[in-house]
Chain A
Amino acid sequence: MFPRLIRTAAVAACLTLAGVATAQDRATVVAVNYPLQSFASHLLGPEAEVVYPVPDGVDPSFWRPAIADISLVQSADLILLSGAGFAGWVERVTLPRARVADTSRAYQDRFITTQTITHSHGAGGAHSHEGLASYTWLDPSLAIAQAEAVAAAITARDLAPAEDVAARLDTLRADLQALDAEARAALTAAQGVPLIATHPRYQYLARAYGLQIGALEWDAGAMPTGAELDALWKLAGETGAKVLLWEAEPPAEAIEAVTALGLHSVTFPPLAVPPGEAGFAGSFRQSVAALAAAVEKATAD
């Protein structure tokens, strides 16, 4: 009778423990762009699953989540926003404030204001919006601040042991500082050299390294139209720029068309979407090297 009771109790205890183990599913963290996903994955290690919810081929800035996507985001243990107006959908979706972290809140004073949009509707008369440049992580010092904010959010919600997160943050910070130093060295020659980007994505990169980058409004990775090429020709003429930054690898004929206008093409992914194998620092390094090489070539012309 007695041993049987003990056995039953032991089985019950095991079942309870198993239940606890299954209940302790890995935490889920949602990141609205690749840099945040990359930082969070690094900082969390195996402790949590970091989800970048935007499907392949969709610009996270203009993604419109379906209800199922919103449910996924709402159910996350932590939702990492990039701030600075990045991903407009977060303004139109209901999020649990307690689990949302605005990772750029600490450096709002360093945001770059872009254009002013004026419009009118209703009887309220005309009003204007301030635009903010959103790709803050292209300045590694801001990326460090963002990584720190991610680490703080993870620690505050106890998603991973604080000392582990702190250690991983130290590594990440060192990586990004090294990246910053490398980029600064590589781009010293590019300071004051006029550059053109196919899309206004590089404001923070430009400010960080003293670059002058004019911008067009081309579709990423698409063949520019004749009018767009005319605009490039005009802008190149005005600024004297000889280097064009593509945000995604363009078709070969696009490069040819641009080369024909006397410009060197550089693909510089702004990293909002995952860059593939290279990772955040790797891709950034490659882009900086390619940019430095193109500038060197352009100045040699």
Chain B
Amino acid sequence: MNAVYLAYAYLRYHWARSLVLVSVAALILFVPLATQILLSTSQRALIARGEATPLLLGSRGSQLDLTMAALYFSDERPDPVTMHEVETIWDSGLGLPIPLHTAFASSGFRIVGTTLDYFDFRGLPLAQGRGLAVLGEAVIGAEVAQALGKGVGDTLVSSPENLFDLDGVYPLEMPIVGVLAPANSPDDAAIFVDIKTAWVIQGIGHGHEDVVTAADIASGSAALANAAVVQYQRITPENIDSFHFHGSQDGFPASAVIVVPNDTRAATILKGRYLDPDGTSQLIDPAEVMRGLVDRIFRIKTLLDLVTAIIALAALAAIGLALFLSYRLRASEIATAVKLGARRGMVLRLLAAETVTLLSLAGGIAVLGAAVISTNAEAWVGWLLALGA
């Protein structure tokens, strides 16, 4: 106890030195801990999204592109599959197909056309407003709301896919009717619309007298369609009844289809149906794709571990030196203690107490920091991963 008492008095009196030593030691302990936590969390987050998505149906091609587009709403644009594939899954009775149409964007965020089932499937509660109800409406993720400063009552305009689009397909202005609660997933950075709305953006569905020009809005009068002004269509209560789709929905496109099989048996049967290498579509297990990707990425982690180890070694040596110097500085105290009849080992005890106190303080701080990281890891990793997408 006396040794700890004296060590504490010493550390307190030399608080600046103690602070530096504790901070450095805490950092040395904290940095690898934090890195490990963040890395394993991101690893888990990456795989978790894959594992939360049982099967993915898409056009035959890069499995990674398909996974990235369907799970992370990345810029990859896999060849579309037709809604006929969705109906086929549906008719098989083996699982629930959830189509995703991710070909368009607005203000840098991907427009995800899907069905209401997606929200149930991912468990996305609303923070504000209501869910999608009418053609043309949009529900935005928390990050979109924050980044664009938009909420219920505001509108978004889909980015024109091609400035020289001569097919008469204009961007669509969509009212925001709901904002989702943060989910720490790519869903935070998505603009959700009914897949039918996505088809309207694509020009498959349209209304009549539906082109509104910026000039119209400015003057309140109709103007001739003019390529020089930004033109977009808007779905209003007046024109909604004129919106219609051409042809059978079976032929309409989806970027990918999330398939939620009823059970493992159904999953096996479904997978078997898409094995034909000559088929136009593939049914993949996104968890596997993500695991493959993660394995590759996390080989870098080995290097990172090595760097951490080297730095930790160097820093530990520095701390050791600092402690050694401090022991040297206390040689006179040691001499005094001996003359005053300090028991054998007292001096050693004193120094040990000091070192142990320092290191436990540092360890405590590091663990505390790690705990903070650990509690917020999912949010921060979600944010980090979203940065990439």
A residues near B (Cβ < 8 Å) are: 64, 67, 70-71, 74, 88, 91-98, 105, 119, 121-124, 127, 129, 156
Distance (whole angstroms) from the CB of B219 to the closest CB of chain A = 21
Q: Which residues of A contact B194 (CB under 8 A)?
A: 94
Q: Are A67 and B134 in contact (CB under 8 A)?
A: yes
Q: Are A70 and B245 in contact (CB under 8 A)?
A: no
Distance (whole angstroms) from the CB of A217 to the closest CB of chain B = 18
Distance (whole angstroms) from the CB of B138 to the closest CB of chain A = 11
Q: Are A119 and B208 in contact (CB under 8 A)?
A: yes
Q: Are B241 and A88 in contact (CB under 8 A)?
A: yes
State A91–B137 Cα separation when bound (angstroms): 13
Q: How large is the interface on B (under 10, 10 to 19, 20 to 34, 35 or more residues)?
A: 35 or more
Q: Which residues of A contact B93 (CB under 8 A)?
A: 156
Assess A92 versus B116: contact at CB under 8 Å? Given A67-B133, A121-B206: no
Flag whether B106 is at the interface (Cβ < 8 A): no
Assess A96 versus B120: contact at CB under 8 Å? Given A67-B134, A91-B196, A124-B167: yes
Q: Are B211 and A122 in contact (CB under 8 A)?
A: yes
- Can you spell out 20 A-B residue pairs with CB atoms less than 8 angstroms apart? A64-B241, A70-B133, A74-B116, A74-B131, A91-B196, A91-B244, A92-B135, A94-B133, A94-B134, A95-B115, A95-B116, A96-B115, A96-B117, A96-B120, A121-B168, A121-B209, A122-B211, A123-B166, A123-B167, A156-B93
- Chain B residue, CB-CB nearest to A152: B93
State A271–B262 Cα separation when bound (angstroms): 37
Flag whether B240 is at the interface (Cβ < 8 A): yes
Distance (whole angstroms) from the CB of A63 to the closest CB of chain B = 11
Distance (whole angstroms) from the CB of A69 to the closest CB of chain B = 9
Q: Are B206 and A92 in contact (CB under 8 A)?
A: no
Q: Are A93 and B134 in contact (CB under 8 A)?
A: yes
Assess A97 versus B208: contact at CB under 8 Å? Given A122-B168, A124-B168, A127-B246: no
Q: Top 4 nearest A-B pairs by Cβ distance?
A: A122-B168, A96-B116, A123-B168, A94-B132
- Chain A residue, CB-CB nearest to B90: A97
- Chain B residue, CB-CB nearest to A70: B133
Assess A91 versus B245: contact at CB under 8 Å? Given A70-B134, A71-B130: yes
Given contacts A92-B134, A92-B135, 17 further A-B contacts (CB under 8 A): A64-B240, A71-B130, A91-B196, A91-B244, A93-B134, A94-B132, A94-B134, A94-B196, A95-B116, A97-B97, A97-B115, A105-B91, A122-B211, A124-B168, A127-B246, A129-B244, A156-B93
- Chain A residue, CB-CB nearest to B248: A108
The majority secondary structure among interface residues of chain A is mixed
Q: Which residues of A contact B203 (CB under 8 A)?
A: 124
Q: Are B167 and A121 in contact (CB under 8 A)?
A: no
A-B contact count (CB 8 A): 78
Q: Which residues of A contact B168 (CB under 8 A)?
A: 121-124
State A43–B133 Cα separation when bound (angstroms): 29
B residues near A (Cβ < 8 Å) are: 90-91, 93, 96-98, 115-117, 120, 130-135, 137, 166-170, 194, 196, 203, 206, 208-211, 240-241, 243-246
State A70–B244 Cα separation when bound (angstroms): 19
Q: Are B134 and A129 in contact (CB under 8 A)?
A: no
Q: Are A67 and B130 in contact (CB under 8 A)?
A: yes
Q: Are B115 and A94 in contact (CB under 8 A)?
A: yes
Assess A94 versus B116: contact at CB under 8 Å? Given A121-B206, A123-B166: yes
Q: Are B133 and A93 in contact (CB under 8 A)?
A: yes
Q: Are B211 and A74 in contact (CB under 8 A)?
A: no
State A156–B246 Cα separation when bound (angstroms): 31
Q: Which residues of B contact A64 (CB under 8 A)?
A: 240-241
Distance (whole angstroms) from the CB of A128 to the closest CB of chain B = 9
Assess A98 versus B120: contact at CB under 8 Å? Given A91-B196, A91-B244: yes
Q: Which residues of A contact B246 (CB under 8 A)?
A: 127, 129
* Of listed A64, A91, A92, A129, residue having the most chain B CB within 10 A: A92
Q: Which residues of B contact A92 (CB under 8 A)?
A: 134-135, 196, 240-241, 243
State A156–B130 Cα separation when bound (angstroms): 29
Distance (whole angstroms) from the CB of A111 to the closest CB of chain B = 11
State A98–B240 Cα separation when bound (angstroms): 25
Distance (whole angstroms) from the CB of A151 to the closest CB of chain B = 14
Q: Which residues of B contact A124 (CB under 8 A)?
A: 167-168, 203
Q: Are B117 and A97 in contact (CB under 8 A)?
A: yes
Q: Which residues of A contact B166 (CB under 8 A)?
A: 123
- Chain B residue, CB-CB nearest to A119: B208
State A97–B257 Cα separation when bound (angstroms): 13
State A94–B115 Cα separation when bound (angstroms): 7
Q: Which residues of B contact A71 (CB under 8 A)?
A: 130, 133
Q: Which residues of A contact B170 (CB under 8 A)?
A: 122
State A92–B210 Cα separation when bound (angstroms): 15
State A70–B211 Cα separation when bound (angstroms): 26
Q: Are A122 and B130 in contact (CB under 8 A)?
A: no
Q: Are A93 and B167 in contact (CB under 8 A)?
A: no
Assess A94 versus B137: contact at CB under 8 Å? Given A74-B131, A123-B166, A127-B246: yes
State A88–B245 Cα separation when bound (angstroms): 11
State A95–B194 Cα separation when bound (angstroms): 9
* Of listed B96, B115, B133, B194, residue having the most chain A CB within 10 A: B133
Q: Which residues of B contact A156 (CB under 8 A)?
A: 93
Q: Which residues of A contact B97 (CB under 8 A)?
A: 97
Q: Which residues of A contact B131 (CB under 8 A)?
A: 74, 94
State A93–B93 Cα separation when bound (angstroms): 24
Distance (whole angstroms) from the CB of A95 to the closest CB of chain B = 6
Distance (whole angstroms) from the CB of B206 to the closest CB of chain A = 7
Distance (whole angstroms) from the CB of A62 to the closest CB of chain B = 8
Q: Which residues of B contact A67 (CB under 8 A)?
A: 130, 133-134
State A124–B241 Cα separation when bound (angstroms): 20
- Chain A residue, CB-CB nearest to B245: A91
- Chain B residue, CB-CB nearest to A106: B91
Q: Which residues of A contact B96 (CB under 8 A)?
A: 97-98
